[in-house]
Structure 1
Amino acid sequence: MCGIAGYYGLNANEALLGTMNDCMEHRGPDGEGVFVDGPCGLAHRRLSIIDVAHGQQPMATADGRYTIAYNGEVYNYLDLRGELEALGRTFETDSDTEVVLQAFAQWGGEAFDRFNGMFGLAIWDRDEQRLTLARDHFGIKPVYVCRVAGSEGGSPSEGLLFASEIRPILRSGLYEKNPNERSIYRYLKFRAHEDGTETFFDGIERLQPGEMLEADANGIRRSMFTRLREELLELATEQRPYDDAAAAEYKARLIESIRLRLQSEVPVGTSLSGGLDSSAVAVVINQLINDGDKTTESVGVQQNTFSAVFPNSINDEERYVDAVLDICTGHVDGHKILPKPEDFKADLRDFVRTQEEPLISSGPYAQYQVMREATKHVTVLLDGQGADEMMAGYIPYYAVYLRQLRAQGAKAAAAELSKSLDVLFRLGRFRVKAKLKGRKDVPVTSLLNPSFTSQWTDERFPVEQSNLKKRLVQDLFHNSLPSLLRYEDKNTMRFSLEGRVPFLDKEVVKFIFSLTDEAIIKDGWNKRILRDATRGLLPESINRRRNKIGFTTPQSEWFMRLKNHFYSIFLSESFANRPYFNQTEVLHAFEGWIKGSNNADTMMFWRFINLELWLQEYFDEEPQVDKATAQAAPKSDVEPNAGKALDLTTDRGETVRRYPLRTELFAKDDDLDAKVLARIDEFFETLPTAGAEHDAATKGRWYLFISEKIIAITQGRSFFVWDIKVGKPARVLSRYVTRTPAGIGLGSPFTMQLAIEEAGLPRVLYAAAGGAVGKAIGRKGLFYELVGNQIAAIDGPTEYSAYPSNVSAKLAPKDPDDVAARLSAGIRSRVPAAYRDAFAGTIVMDANDIGRNVLGSDVPDDKARFEEMFADNPLGQGSEQTPMALVFIQD
């Protein structure tokens, strides 16, 4: 498998081709090449599979007229080669690339419909000065295109970029990045994410399955090179009877499809989920090994299988994997991968980056993990992709079939319904259970910004509901399979693997569609023809399975485990500022899901998370890090935090030096005094080695400044947001508070609820009315003056804070003056004598990068004076973990 890229309509530019190629090294680590001729440039990265010693690309015909950059495998290439040789064409290599090139030279664009396999390719015709791009019948291999301005003063005036991935186009410098807001809306609303030609990048499109693009001096034209979709629907009208002979013929065709896809000069393995489809592939390969079939030389004596398993999870399929391994005993080496939620968290950004566009669930992460392991053992991997969409593998297909039968007659529909009740029950059981428990539905549009949704109210996502084969064709080419093939391509190529999908052999698919619908569903059994064809090959436990799980992750379990991490994403400033989301409502819905009080599901929340991380990755200027868990560079006690200074001269002329002290995180049950005093002891123990400058700076009066956050935490006045029971008054009132960055203040329902509980609703309403009057007359801060109770010190969750402050809200500490006095007494009882008399007291400080406020102290002094000492907030309560400082007055 390979990567292709290039341009048309630009001046010769090998540097551009090199840049685009560099983005795809993972797609082809075995070689690279570029080609330039007039307005066309081709780039290629090679993953060598067939004719490893030859077949380098771009490849040209002997006369130099045609040059190809090709990504794929055409499995009937040997038959085509024989046909071409009979027509007088000669070959210099054994590669399928040369067959594809010579076929185009012979038949032009009509050649593509002769291919049985997967491909994304670019062919330059030197004589006609025409670039041709094409994508295989099912869209197994991707081709992305983007129109750009042509070369200045030249012809043509419109240029074109193309590539196997989106990133080479982004890196070209010729495309101005913008998100496609229509795609974003359809994704959030309908779960559409591989929807027609449009991608999530405005102006970047994909070729459709079976589509060809031609670019020359007459412009850019797109057309279908195949009638496969129409052929399948036409075949569906033939209704060839389904019987044992048809099942036997299908079995022979499937075995041959798998044999063809074992052609390789590098090791081949199998992705084994435990489901019917991938298990069928594995057992057929095992049979071929037993029969001594020559094509299994690429597999070896033992077939390598790779399976993601989730012990003790509701969707674990390990027992089915083991059943297949048992049947293949002696000729199989089963590799089991155990993805964990902490792995998912660690890989999340790379996973999003790999996929290039949002996806509808975290399920493909299981495949991502499998591919990472598989690449250590094999270079080619077969799996069962596509079988569900051609043989009604998903439960909703039953409903479509029943509607079709009902239109044909009530008796047939009733008979099929009676044998499908258990399957249909699984489809609706969670919804029924939620209704019985009184859980509220959460429409996705209620979580979106109304000004965003109002632009797209006319959007629709029609789905065929009453004709089974029409629905299957729709899902094969539009609604379902394209996204699964994208996941497969991105995940395999991320780890330099070639994925092959034997069920997507166009002749095998045509055969299924020529049979009656009973070959697909009968008596409550879907994939009937596959079950019949593998009876005796597969364990009964798999052949007769009715509970479809799929190659996925235990998403709900993982979301509950990682809820604090996902909360931090929803609470981030970037999420709050997107034009797409209603942050308050998203948080409310997520809180309700955690508590089990609504009918929201993780699929919906995943779309918000995935979209946000995708926007961060591809559109935000600053590189994103997990601010709550990232660790700052180590520093000594006498060094400032990054971007801060030790010394400050106040407006009163005082010069102060602030030493921020790094600490362990504070928790509810911690002894505040013990941890603070021990840390101060450590400072004075290491001070003698700090040098003369610091020795001179610590001769005058000094204070302990301590963050109110850690006091509130140890007093039990910090609460996870999901534990705060937010009432309607808090939700309403928080909407009228001017939002401050990163969740500080009462602009959040969580912090407003704490304010109501601390001060009482009547007083909050009274203060709110006064605040409104204050705004009208230009007086700021009147709300906080009237409400009292240190409400101004309530902090919401802030994305830059270390866990758990990034997902917690806090009240002001209780009795801060007493806390200050207690800490001061402890300090005086233990610090070195040389510093005891100079110690002036403790200040409880609410400081951030917006403002600072002294909440308490045991020092009879002007609070404004201490606030001036922290005008630049030298503390850091995120990755720095420095919630207190020793402050020395330099006399």
Structure 2
Amino acid sequence: MCGIAGYYGAGLDDSILKEMNACIVHRGPDGEGYFSEGSVGLAHRRLAIVDVAHGQEPMISADGETVLVYNGEVYNYRELRAELEGLGRVFRTASDTEVVLQAYEQWGTEAFDRFNGMFGLALFDRRRNQLVLVRDHFGIKPLYWANAGTEHEPRLLFASEIKPILATGLIEARANERILYRYLQYRIHDDTEETFFDGVRKLLPGEMMTVDLATGRFRIALYTRLREELAELAQVNAPYTPGVVDEYRRRFTEAIRLRLNSEVPVGSALSGGLDSSAVVVTINRLMQEKADGLEAVGTKQNTFSAVFPNAINDEEAYADAAIAVCSGNIEAHKIKPTPEGFDADLVDFVRTMEEPIISSGPYAQYCVMKEASKHVTVLLDGQGADEMMAGYIPYYFAYLRQLKASGDYATLAKESSSSVDIFYRLGRFRLRGMASGKKAVSMGSLLKKSWAGQFSGESFGNIPANLKARLIDDLFVKSLPSLLRYEDKNTMRFSLEGRVPFLDKEVVKYLFSLSDEAIIKEGWNKRVLRDATRGLLPEMISNRRNKIGFTTPEAEWFKLMKERLYKIFMSNSFYSRPYWDREQVLTAFEEYLNGKNDADTMIFWRLLNVELWLREFIDKDETPADVKANKSDYEANPGKELDIASNGSVFRRYPLQTGVFAKDTDLSPAVASYVKRFFDGLPGAPEEARTAVDGSKWYLLVSEKIVAITQGRSFPVWEINVTPAARVLSKFVTRTPAGIGLGSPWSMQIAINEVGLPLIAKAAAASVVGKLQGKTGVFYDVVGHNINAIDGATPYSLGAASNSVKLAPKDPDGVARALSAAVRAALPDGASASFGGTAVMDANDLGVVVMGHDTDLPKETIAGMFKDNPQGQGSQATPMSLVFTQS
């Protein structure tokens, strides 16, 4: 198991290979290798599993004509090797890598369909003057590619992950918005060759790309008929008999035995479900029988389970039952993923997945792999069984519709009655949702119509009335590809090899040759697996109806993590995306937390996942237009002027860039330190600044935001209990930019908390009358102008201001006096003597209010100093200014 990367094209060299390989060290920490010749370059990272002492790559054939880099395992390599030796071939190593290489030399591209395993590989064939890229039959191992050149001068990049392709700098990281829309709207992904990255594609299961090195032309084609074979085998419809169960058990056991071949420790993932439990108990039986080839398992089988004590989807009892029947032959490891851990791992988890995923469920697998990597290097699990043996409820409906369409009413009646408990639970759940009266929420209602409208032609559907056709579609297109992506990313992130015995090619072919009764019979799905493991599994697992698998208690976690989610949904970047309506998202999320709508967590996860993915892979590290990092104290904010006239005088304003103010910031000394910094730096300041300051009377103007924050009058939105009255009243407020005013339920609620609902209602009524009479400002005349100073959460602000609602500061005149005293104490006599005092300002792009001051200036003059809002309302951290009189 390894990672591969490479290129084809003019002007590329080994430096690119090393950049690409550096991105996938986790896929192969045991070694690296490179090969380049002419227009072809190959790179390899090795995770040594089989023939650890040999098998290094790139591997070059004995005659030097073929070069291979390979990621995966071919489990039937011993049989293929024996066949090749019978044809006169001689082997230098005991690795499956050399078998793959010599099989290609012997049979050409026809060799790939002979392989039973998982692989993503690249072959440089000097003899045929071609480069060949191949992905295994089911797509267990990934292979991504991109054309970084032109139609006439192609530059092909390929790798086991997307990050190496982006690392070359030859492909710009841009979102594929069609795929993004399909994911957000339909909850689907990995169903086409396209990825979430525009211009980056992947080979699909069973595909091969051949590049003609003479012309640069490449073509992609299937090297296998496996999908068609399964459809043809489905017509065989062999009767379901006890002999069939015995044969399936034999084949399934052999598939597991082959996947235990390793020179490094092997363990098993155990969720407690039927599939992973079947793998674990089958390995246990092989151990009891002292079967050959189990050396890597050791004296005890290591199992790894994610458990969630007291959570609704905890499967610990089922995992314990499987462990108990293994007669002490198991070393069980239990991993307890937590919301705190998820919060800490979230960015790395998103980076690991490389593309958005359906839910946070795979984080449980991520945690399992992290722990498993401390004990083993290879891990078997039950991936793939659901898609071949109808593991999900919708498959029942497809089967029943099939029976109806075929006129088999006797079987239809029998299966319907046998499945009534499943349908009852499903119907009860849906009826409960309908009867709750909760507001319906769909992803479509949260997306911006201006963006979503361009994808109105997109659709998604499943095969409705043919069970095996539906299963085949899900195996290769609709369902399994995404699960295999999670499997690959999570295992390789921690340098583990994941093996999936249910996806043994021969086992799958045999299963599809059987009648539908092997899949669903008498209301039981996975019937042949249940029957084949009876006596090995406890009845509570064999007869289990509900399915959970490795997942997280997402609903419980999201409520515990609401602060983190609010911060993301209220961030500047989330606000600026063209995809969704932030206000609608926030409203829906708040209503969800308070049980007011029927939204499910997967809606919010998709939004969250896309936002974090965009930050990690797509966003450029650029400073917003309204921000100047490390701005000098002696220059204006971008787009603003230093000088302004007010009441016949000219004033010079110097906005000071500061750190972020928080509730525990001691305001007076903090402000004084920034003022002192300004004066201490004057000797090295531009002459213009020194002249403007010299002998001038000056003033300190401070934003009321930082005063309110440090007074504890700033409230995170997740701490505000919004009442129905606040929600209704806020809808009648004209919405203003950047969260100013009472146009949000949160800001309206703290206004109600501050002065009481009766006064707010009275002011609202007076405002309506005033507007009819042509009067403005009546609302605030009645309710009090401190309410006018309330700020909502502002997406362009830093720190707490981005997700908090702020009341007006208390005693702004007293605050001004305290700040003036601190400043005077901190400055030398000259600067202190010319200091004229402090003003606390409520300044934004809509207007300026002097909330309090201790200067000798009229409020009108002070307001005039700030009529163009020189401190800015973006994320520029300049909450105070020094203002010098010029004339």
Kept after mapping to 2: 8 A contact 1:717/1:812: no
Match of 2:633 among 645, 649, 658: 645
3-state secondary structure, aligned to 2:294: helix
Name the CA shift for 1:443/1:883 in 2 (closer, same or farther; >3 Å).
same
Name the CA shift for 1:865/1:365 in 2 (closer, same or farther; >3 Å).
farther
What is the identity, as a one-letter code, of the residue corresponding to 1:197? E
Kept after mapping to 1: 8 A contact 2:28/2:47: yes
Kept after mapping to 1: 8 A contact 2:144/2:160: yes
Q: Distance in 2 between matches of 1:87 and 1:575?
A: 62
Name the CA shift for 1:403/1:368 in 2 (closer, same or farther; >3 Å).
same
Match of 2:228 among 217, 230, 233: 230
Deviation (angstroms), 1:327: 2.6
Name the CA shift for 1:473/1:869 in 2 (closer, same or farther; >3 Å).
same
- Report which stretch shifted further, 158-167 or 497-506: 158-167
1:720 aligns with 2:701: no
Q: Distance in 1 between matches of 2:420 and 2:326?
A: 34
1:336 aligns with 2:347: no
Equivalent position of 2:78 in the other structure:
78
- Report which stretch shifted further, 377-386 or 801-810: 801-810
Deviation readout 1:626-667 (Å, 9 max, x if unpaired):
xxxxxxxxxxxxxx9964639999767889999999899539
What is the identity, as a one-letter code, of the residue corresponding to 2:193? T
3-state secondary structure, aligned to 2:132: strand
3-state secondary structure, aligned to 2:43: strand
Equivalent position of 1:672 in the other structure:
none
Kept after mapping to 2: 8 A contact 1:666/1:710: no
What is the identity, as a one-letter code, of the residue corresponding to 1:441? A
1:215 aligns with 2:211: yes
Q: Distance in 2 between matches of 1:849 and 1:185?
A: 35
Equivalent position of 1:306 in the other structure:
304
Equivalent position of 2:256 in the other structure:
258
What is the identity, as a one-letter code, of the residue corresponding to 1:583? R
1:272 aligns with 2:270: yes
Equivalent position of 1:55 in the other structure:
55
Within-5 A mapping of 1:305-454: 305-407=303-405, 408-454=407-453
Q: Distance in 1 between matches of 2:660 and 2:11?
A: 59
Equivalent position of 1:27 in the other structure:
27
3-state secondary structure, aligned to 1:55: coil
1:195 aligns with 2:191: yes
Equivalent position of 1:66 in the other structure:
66
Equivalent position of 1:778 in the other structure:
none
Equivalent position of 1:518 in the other structure:
517
Name the CA shift for 1:833/1:510 in 2 (closer, same or farther; >3 Å).
closer
Equivalent position of 2:536 in the other structure:
537
Name the CA shift for 1:567/1:681 in 2 (closer, same or farther; >3 Å).
closer
With normalisation by structure 2, the TM-score equals 0.85
Equivalent position of 1:634 in the other structure:
none
What is the identity, as a one-letter code, of the residue corresponding to 1:257? A
Kept after mapping to 1: 8 A contact 2:35/2:41: yes
Deviation (angstroms), 1:364: 0.6
Deviation (angstroms), 1:524: 2.1
Kept after mapping to 2: 8 A contact 1:420/1:524: yes
- Report which stretch shifted further, 616-625 or 536-545: 616-625
Kept after mapping to 2: 8 A contact 1:768/1:783: no
Equivalent position of 2:138 in the other structure:
138
Q: Distance in 2 between matches of 1:182 and 1:76?
A: 40
Q: Distance in 2 between matches of 1:542 and 1:728?
A: 51
Within-5 A mapping of 1:740-779: 740=738, 743-744=739-740, 750-751=746-747, 758=760, 760-762=763-765
Q: Distance in 1 between matches of 2:396 and 2:411?
A: 13
3-state secondary structure, aligned to 1:5: strand
Kept after mapping to 1: 8 A contact 2:389/2:526: yes
Deviation (angstroms), 1:189: 1.1
Deviation readout 1:768-822 (Å, 9 max, x if unpaired):
9999x99xxxxxx999999983565332223576776543323434xx5x45338
Kept after mapping to 1: 8 A contact 2:713/2:808: no
Equivalent position of 1:123 in the other structure:
123
Deviation readout 1:13-47 (Å, 9 max, x if unpaired):
11222221111111111111222223222111111
Equivalent position of 2:182 in the other structure:
186
Name the CA shift for 1:681/1:751 in 2 (closer, same or farther; >3 Å).
closer
Equivalent position of 2:614 in the other structure:
615
What is the identity, as a one-letter code, of the residue corresponding to 1:111? A
Deviation (angstroms), 1:412: 2.6
What is the identity, as a one-letter code, of the residue corresponding to 1:434? G
Q: Distance in 2 between matches of 1:770 and 1:641?
A: 49
Q: Distance in 2 between matches of 1:624 and 1:470?
A: 52
What is the identity, as a one-letter code, of the residue corresponding to 1:505? D
Deviation (angstroms), 1:308: 1.3
Q: Distance in 2 between matches of 1:350 and 1:193?
A: 20
Q: Distance in 2 between matches of 1:527 and 1:215?
A: 42
Name the CA shift for 1:825/1:43 in 2 (closer, same or farther; >3 Å).
closer
- Report which stretch shifted further, 71-80 or 370-379: 370-379
3-state secondary structure, aligned to 2:45: strand
Kept after mapping to 2: 8 A contact 1:396/1:427: no
- Report which stretch shifted further, 215-224 or 468-477: 215-224
Deviation (angstroms), 1:516: 1.4
Q: Distance in 2 between matches of 1:202 and 1:701?
A: 55
Equivalent position of 1:793 in the other structure:
789
Equivalent position of 1:107 in the other structure:
107
Equivalent position of 2:164 in the other structure:
168
What is the identity, as a one-letter code, of the residue corresponding to 1:82? A
What is the identity, as a one-letter code, of the residue corresponding to 1:234? E
Q: Distance in 1 between matches of 2:259 and 2:699?
A: 76
Equivalent position of 1:562 in the other structure:
561
Name the CA shift for 1:111/1:761 in 2 (closer, same or farther; >3 Å).
farther
Name the CA shift for 1:885/1:181 in 2 (closer, same or farther; >3 Å).
closer
3-state secondary structure, aligned to 1:475: helix
Name the CA shift for 1:851/1:289 in 2 (closer, same or farther; >3 Å).
farther
Name the CA shift for 1:433/1:486 in 2 (closer, same or farther; >3 Å).
same
What is the identity, as a one-letter code, of the residue corresponding to 1:501? V
3-state secondary structure, aligned to 1:270: strand
Q: Distance in 2 between matches of 1:701 and 1:605?
A: 50
Deviation (angstroms), 1:63: 1.2
Q: Distance in 1 between matches of 2:678 and 2:643?
A: 25
What is the identity, as a one-letter code, of the residue corresponding to 1:571? M
What is the identity, as a one-letter code, of the residue corresponding to 1:169? I
Deviation (angstroms), 1:854: 2.8
Kept after mapping to 2: 8 A contact 1:512/1:519: yes
Name the CA shift for 1:585/1:875 in 2 (closer, same or farther; >3 Å).
closer
Q: Distance in 2 between matches of 1:146 and 1:807?
A: 40
3-state secondary structure, aligned to 1:313: coil
